[in-house]
């Protein structure tokens, strides 16, 4: 056991923590509880297959974010794709997003969608995410896709989520957009084009780690105790850190439990879901050679999304990721879910019965999607303000408890680091 004095102590070596450490330089130390860095931005190589911990594809809304990402790779280390995805609805593949492509439905269903769209219960303000969906698109569009799909993804009652639960990531469309899509394709979304490293999403983590100063990254070190008033932290190996500033990127719900009963009570107000990711490698290609992923809203399958790495990386064998949502308290039987998944993939025609499974692995993301309830934003803002008063900053998708992209995490980390270095905190 030793005592270490450090200016910036960073908890978590995911994208947010690594980018913060890169910007802060030799004054930073990262504690990472796992034996390898990256958080969910890691890749797995097994039996000749390449998978990620989850389907991570890089899309950018800022030029600075795109430039930083591109600076980590040579052009021949990346692929850039125009997104190709579909929705598997009642045995047919229709274009995404659903609300802009209802003209691809059977005539009676199209009539239902149009009728409800123009008689939707629109309001100036909505009290829940479900009410927003019905008020924006009508009952039929909501019940056919938006409700069942998002319930499978979030694994909760959508009526308990805030209207802004998905923020800018929700593919909104006005009625005129829906009508226009019947004559001209309008399937643009925030990730209509994406970049992906040929060696998997974890290649970004590997590049960032190479640039850290020696001794910056300490793996296998979980934060076990924190005395904010004394600016002292203790890790799972008993080492004591006396810091000036602490940056947390670990899940806020867990981090708060280190800060006493009051903070633990605040943590209890936060909720989330889990996602089981099944990475599957097959002997031959799947039927849909040109699709990157497929959304599945129906109850006939346990999964809500299936993605195809081989179609992104031009592989000659089907390499899939399958995502299955669960409530936060669920106990997950990965073997049972694998059996159900294989049966459903065959029944839905996504994998031929004779296409042999050669390799697989499972990952449980916990947390996966944070739940933004009506009081969540105010609660988190209050918590962050209280922590900042003690020189503790909590950032990233899970540290900041928000639904955001990897680009958002990188830019937030850089911004905080520049503020701290400038002495503006």
Strands 232-235 and 240-248: antiparallel
Give the DSSP letter string of 318-387. Answer: -EEEEEEEEETTPPP-HHHHHHHHHHHHHHTTSS-TTS-EEEEEEEEESS-SB---TTHHHHHHHHHHHH
Q: Which two tokens stand for residue 335?
A: 């073997």
The SS3 of residue 6 is strand
Among 8-17, 108-117, 123-132, 170-179, which stretch is predicted with the lowest mean pLDDT?
Answer: 170-179
The answer to whether the beta carbons of residues 164 and 372 sit under 8 Å apart is yes
Is the peptide bond between 171 and the residue preceding it cis, with omega within 30 degrees of 0? no
Q: Is the dihedral of CA 180, 182, 184, 187 positive or negative?
A: positive
* pLDDT over 60 (residue 399): yes
Q: Is the dihedral of CA 396, 398, 399, 404 positive or negative?
A: positive
Q: Tens of pLDDT along 109-140?
A: 999 999 999 999 988 999 999 999 999 999 99
* pLDDT over 60 (residue 187): no
Q: Residue length, the chain?
A: 425
pLDDT value at position 257?
Answer: 94
* pLDDT over 60 (residue 69): yes
The contacts found for 309-315 with CB under 8 angstroms, 24 or more apart, are 309/50, 309/51, 309/52, 310/285, 310/286, 311/84, 312/57, 312/79, 312/81, 312/196, 313/50, 313/79, 313/196, 313/198
Average pLDDT over residues 380-394: 96
* pLDDT over 90 (residue 76): yes
Q: Compute the 3-state secondary structure of the chain and give helix, strand, coil in percent, each to the nearest 5.
A: 40, 25, 40
Give the DSSP letter string of 273-285. Answer: EEEEEEEEEESS-
Q: What is the CA radius of gyration of the chain?
A: 22
d(CA 135, CA 139): 8
Banded model confidence at residue 190, pLDDT cuts 50, 70, 90: low
- What percentage of the chain exceeds 70 in pLDDT? 98
pLDDT value at position 371?
Answer: 97
Whether the predicted model's global pTM rises above the 0.75 cut:
yes
pLDDT value at position 425?
Answer: 41
Work out the mean pLDDT of the chain and round it to a whole number. Answer: 94
pLDDT value at position 56?
Answer: 82
Beta bridge partners of 45: 50
pLDDT value at position 262?
Answer: 77
d(CA 201, CA 40): 9
* pLDDT over 90 (residue 173): no
* pLDDT over 80 (residue 172): no
Q: Which residue has the tokens 């934003």?
A: 377
Q: Which two tokens stand for residue 415?
A: 């911004």
Banded model confidence at residue 423, pLDDT cuts 50, 70, 90: low
Strands 357-365 and 273-282: antiparallel
d(CA 208, CA 216): 12
pLDDT value at position 191?
Answer: 66
Average pLDDT over residues 2-22: 97
d(CA 250, CA 267): 13
The answer to whether the beta carbons of residues 377 and 408 sit under 8 Å apart is no
Give the DSSP letter string of 26-91. Answer: GGEEEEESSSSS-TT--EEEETTEEEESS---B--SSHHHHHHHHHTS-GGGEEEEE--EEEEETT
Write the DSSP symbol of residue 395. Answer: -
Whole-angstrom CA distances from 181 to 95, 105, 185, 292, 297 are 11, 13, 5, 22, 22
pLDDT value at position 180?
Answer: 85
* pLDDT over 80 (residue 170): no
Nearest to 255 by CA among 106, 395, 66: 395
Strands 43-46 and 49-52: antiparallel
pLDDT value at position 422?
Answer: 87
* pLDDT over 70 (residue 424): no
Q: Which residue has the tokens 């669920």?
A: 330
For residues 398 and 186, which has the higher predicted lDDT (pLDDT)? Answer: 398
158: left (phi over 0), alpha (psi -120 to 50) or beta: alpha
Average pLDDT over residues 44-61: 93
Average pLDDT over residues 315-319: 97
Q: Tens of pLDDT along 332-345?
A: 999 999 999 999 99
Strands 217-219 and 85-89: unpaired
The domains of the chain, with CATH numbers, are 3-45+201-269+373-421 (3.50.50.60), 101-153+160-181 (no CATH)
* pLDDT over 90 (residue 225): yes
Beta bridge partners of 50: 45
Q: Which two tokens stand for residue 87?
A: 């929705």
Banded model confidence at residue 176, pLDDT cuts 50, 70, 90: confident
* pLDDT over 90 (residue 189): no
d(CA 393, CA 413): 10
């Amino acid at each position: 056991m030793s005592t270490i004095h450090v200016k910036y102590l960073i908890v978590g070596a995911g994208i947010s923590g690594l980018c913060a450490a890169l910007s802060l330089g030799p004054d930073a130390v990262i504690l990472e509880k796992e034996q390898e860095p990256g958080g969910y931005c890691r890749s797995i190589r097994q039996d000749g297959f390449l998978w990620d911990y989850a389907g991570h594809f890089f899309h950018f809304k800022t030029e600075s974010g795109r430039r930083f990402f591109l600076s980590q790779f040579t052009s021949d280390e990346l692929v850039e794709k125009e997104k190709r995805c579909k929705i598997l609805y009642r045995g047919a593949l229709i274009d995404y997003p659903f609300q802009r492509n209802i003209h691809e439905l059977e005539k009676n269903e199209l009539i239902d969608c149009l009728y409800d769209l123009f008689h939707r219960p629109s309001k100036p303000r909505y009290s829940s995410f479900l009410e927003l969906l019905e008020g924006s698109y009508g009952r039929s569009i909501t019940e056919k896709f938006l409700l069942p799909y998002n319930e499978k993804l979030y694994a909760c009652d959508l009526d308990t989520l805030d209207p802004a639960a998905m923020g800018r990531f929700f593919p909104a469309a006005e009625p005129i957009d829906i009508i226009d899509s019947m004559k001209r394709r309008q399937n643009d979304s925030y990730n209509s084009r994406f970049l992906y490293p040929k060696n998997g999403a974890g290649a970004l983590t590997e590049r960032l780690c190479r640039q850290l100063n020696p001794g910056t990254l300490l793996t296998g070190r979980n934060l076990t105790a924190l005395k904010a008033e004394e600016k002292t932290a203790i890790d799972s190996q008993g080492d004591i850190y006396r810091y000036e500033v602490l940056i947390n990127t670990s899940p806020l719900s867990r981090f708060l439990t280190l800060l006493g009963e009051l903070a633990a009570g605040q943590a209890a107000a936060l909720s989330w879901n889990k996602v089981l990711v099944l990475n599957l490698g097959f002997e031959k290609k799947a039927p849909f050679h040109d699709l990157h992923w497929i959304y599945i809203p129906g109850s006939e399958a346990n999964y809500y999304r299936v993605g195809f790495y081989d179609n992104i990386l031009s592989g000659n064998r089907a390499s899939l990721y399958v995502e299955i949502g669960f409530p936060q308290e669920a106990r997950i039987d990965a073997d049972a879910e694998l059996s159900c998944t294989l049966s459903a993939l065959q029944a839905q025609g996504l994998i031929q019965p004779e296409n042999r499974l050669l390799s697989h692995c499972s990952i449980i993301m916990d947390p996966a999607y944070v739940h933004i309830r009506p009081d969540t934003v105010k609660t988190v803002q209050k918590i962050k303000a209280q922590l900042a008063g003690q020189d503790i900053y909590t950032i990233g998708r899970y540290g900041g408890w928000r639904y955001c992209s990897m680009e958002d995490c990188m830019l937030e980390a850089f911004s905080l680091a520049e503020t701290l270095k400038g002495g503006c905190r």
